[in-house]
Amino acid sequence: MRHFGTKLRQFLLHEDGPTAVEYAVMLALILVACITIVTSLGTGASSTFSTVKDAAAS
């Protein structure tokens, strides 16, 4: 039973697993933000080019 308690204490004190999960969550949030920004800019750029095209055609 003492061996189990020692292993449990080491497991709870070892922080590599939670750190990896935190980095994965941060990466996912950064990717979502980047995708949102690129989508928004793409829509705005498309609208701007359409306006310029229409103005140049007339």
Q: What is the pLDDT of residues 28-50, one digit of tens each?
A: 999 999 999 999 888 888 888 88
* Single-letter residue type at 51: T
pTM: 0.54
Instruction: Read off the tokens for 38.
Output: 């690129």
Q: Whole-angstrom Cα distance, residue 33 to residue 25?
A: 12
Percent of the chain with pLDDT over 90: 24
Instruction: Read off the tokens for 26.
Output: 């941060």
- At residue 35, the pLDDT reads 95
- At residue 29, the pLDDT reads 97
- At residue 2, the pLDDT reads 80
- At residue 42, the pLDDT reads 83
